[in-house]
Structure formats: structure tokens, C-alpha cells
Amino acid sequence: MASVAPFDATATFRAHVARGLSYATERASGDRQAVFSQADRDLALYLPDLALRIGDDRERIYRYLLTVAPRMEQAGHRWQWLRALEHGLSYARQFADTAIEAELLLHLGYLHLLLGSYDRALEELKNSQAIFRQLEDVRGMARAQIRQAFVLRRQGQLNAAWDMANQALNLLPADDAERALGAMALGVILLERQEYQQAAITMKEALTMAVSNGDKRMESWLHEHLGAVMRRTGDFDETKYHLARSRELAPDDPVHKAVITMTLGAVHFESGEVAQALEGFLEAKEVFLQYAELPRLAIAYNNLGMAYKTLGRTEQAIDAYHASIDLWRQLGNATPLANTTAGLALVYQAQNQHQQAIELFDMALEILAGRADDPQSQKLTKRIQGYRADSLGALYKGPVA
């Protein structure tokens, strides 16, 4: 009688994890525009711990982490995936796999950017760039610099962001797909500078590159940014076209859909359709809360404050503005913090509570005091000074008999 080999539970489990890694990597590297199903997401969330504890096949684990990372970010699992990448980073450092360390730091930096942890994002991206430099990986350096430009833009350091993006583009050949992201960085900086015509030109150049690269997700983001540019120029028909196109191209990106919803809300607000605007802002806020999108959540609360104020719902306006102020303070972003503080002041001004309004205007101006080199902050300063003068005049004039 033939002997039966004993059942090896450990080997069977290792084989199960290896098959899971291969399956998940294959799924994630397939059609990048296809919906990443809930089953795919669940598998991606539990596999890293198991695989890294076993640690049999480093190359398989690294390929899995780096392939699945952008899909999990797109699906909104940012905090959860952060832990997996940090675990992978410790693993790569343990085995001195420096090229993988640089790639993981790049992804970690981008996730921290999206989550509003700007100082941490810069730290990770600078470390990634330094390792790529040691490895003489010029393209890797450029990729890290482009993402640093986005962080610097979020911090309001527009000149530094502009220089960083251009340095990165100078490192890339003309046909490199990464140039589309670099051009998008320049476009959003121009948008922040309120140079709308040049922003539109730059965004459209980036869009042409994204289409050529077959990168539908970037196409979607660029249409959303173009919608934002067109909104600033008052061309609402063009705005709606770009936002509708953006939505079509973003089927599996809940955060991006919420951004589009919020931008459409802003269009409704500026068109005098405040109730519809409020509905959009509330819908977007819930998504940003769910996925801990703190910078966009701060914007949503600011927008809610404006809508509630316009509708005469004063207490809700005050609560929304305070929520936005708390978030901007936590994120350390001075210009939007000052803008939102001024928005709160305008609520009190509308209620003829001018002393309270003046105190808040003064707080906003103090926040902006050290930003004389920033054109956006300069414009905001002048606007707030005008609002403050209105309240000061009303205060000295006193009540009308």
C-alpha cells in the first residue's frame, strides 16, 4: 500500500498566499479603467500583512504592492493602504532593496498629499528623490519632483512649486508619459495664480498628452481642472461640458466624483441656484468625510458656509465655517485659512455684528501678513481690508434711527 505524504499546512498556506498575490497583481495590472471590485479591494487589504509575514518571494510582494497601490488609492482606500505601504517600506529597508524603497516612498508621499499631511508628504518625496539620485535614476527623480510640486502648491508656495515642476520637466524626454502630470502641475499653479488663459492652454496641452498616453484617469482630472478654470472665467457652459466629460471618465473614483459634484455645486451657487448648490456641497462633504479627504473636506465646509449664509441659515453657516477653519488650521494652509476666517466674518457682518466681524477680519489679515510675495494672498488681503472698512464704517455710523 502506497504511503500518503503528510499534510503540510504551512506549505499549503504559503501557496495560497502566493496565488492570491499573483491573482491580485494580475487583476490590478489589467484594464486600468475597469472597476476595481469590492472583492478585489478586500483581497488587497488583507494580503499585504500575510505576504510580508511569510516573506518567501520579495519580488512577487513588491510587484504586488506597487501595482495595486494606485488602484487602491483610486478606490478611496487611502488610510488602509498607507499601512500596507509602510509595512512594505520596512521590509524593503530590512533587505536593503533601495530601488523598491524609493518607489514605495513615492507612493507614500502621494498618499500623504491626498490626505492633507503636507509636511510628511514632502519628507517622503524628498527621501524618494534622494534615493533615486543615488541610483542615478533621472526619471525617478523627476517623478518625485513633480509630486513635490503638487505638495508645495497645496502649501501655497506657488513660486517654489513652479520651479520644482519645471526642473522635473527638464529632466524628462519629450515623449515621456510623466510629462502630462508635470504639465498638469503647472496648470493648477497657474489656476492658483489666477492666470486663467495660460492655465487653460497648459491644461489642454496636458490633456493632449494624456489622451495620447491612453491615461483616462488623468484625462478625467484634467477635464475637472479645465472645468474649474472655465468657472473662474464665467463660462458656465464650457464648465459643465468639462465636468460632464470628467465624470464619464471616472467610473471607479468616488473622491473624484465628489470633487466634480462640488465644482458643479459652485456653478449652481454662482448662477443663483443656491438650494441646488447646497445639495451638491452636502453630497460631496459626506464622501470626503468617508475617505478622510481633509483638504477637500475643508473646502466643502467653506462652501457650505457660503450657501447657508446666502439662504439666511446663520447658525449653520457659522458651524460650517468653524469646521472649515479647524481643518485648515490642522493642515497648516494659510491662504484658505484666512479666506475662510473672512467668510465667517462676513456672516457676522451680515448680522450687523460689526465688532465681531472686525476681530475676525483682523485675524485673517494677521494670517496673511507674512505672505507678501504671494499674489493670491495680496489680492485676498486687499479684499479683506475692504470688508473690514465696511464694518468699521458701519460701527462708527451706528444704528440708523
Q: What is the pLDDT of residue 378?
A: 84
Cβ neighbours, 10 Å, residue 254: 16
What one-letter code names the amino acid at 283? E
Q: What is the pLDDT of residue 9?
A: 47
Q: What is the pLDDT of residue 26?
A: 62
Q: Report how far apart the first and last C-alpha atoms of the chain are (Å, whole number).
A: 112
Give CA–CA dist 163/169, Å, rounded: 10
**CA dihedral defined by 192, 198, 200, 206, rounded to 10 degrees?**
-100
Residues 6+ apart with CB under 8 A from 330: 116, 294
The predicted model scores a pTM of: 0.78
Residues 6+ apart with CB under 8 A from 20: 43, 47, 50, 51
Tally the C-alpha atoms within 13 A of residue 78's C-alpha that lie toward its C-beta. Answer: 24
Specify the CATH number for 42-69+79-172; select among 3.40.50.460, 3.40.50.300, 3.90.1150.10, 1.25.40.10: 1.25.40.10
Q: What is the pLDDT of residue 16?
A: 46
CA-nearest of 159, 153, 158, 186 to 170 is 186
Q: What is the pLDDT of residue 58?
A: 73
Q: What is the pLDDT of residue 155?
A: 87
* Coil, helix or strand at residue 356: helix
CB 335 within 8 A of CB 377: yes
Give CA–CA dist 396/297, Å, rounded: 38
Residues of the chain with pLDDT under 70: 1-57, 251, 372-373, 398-401
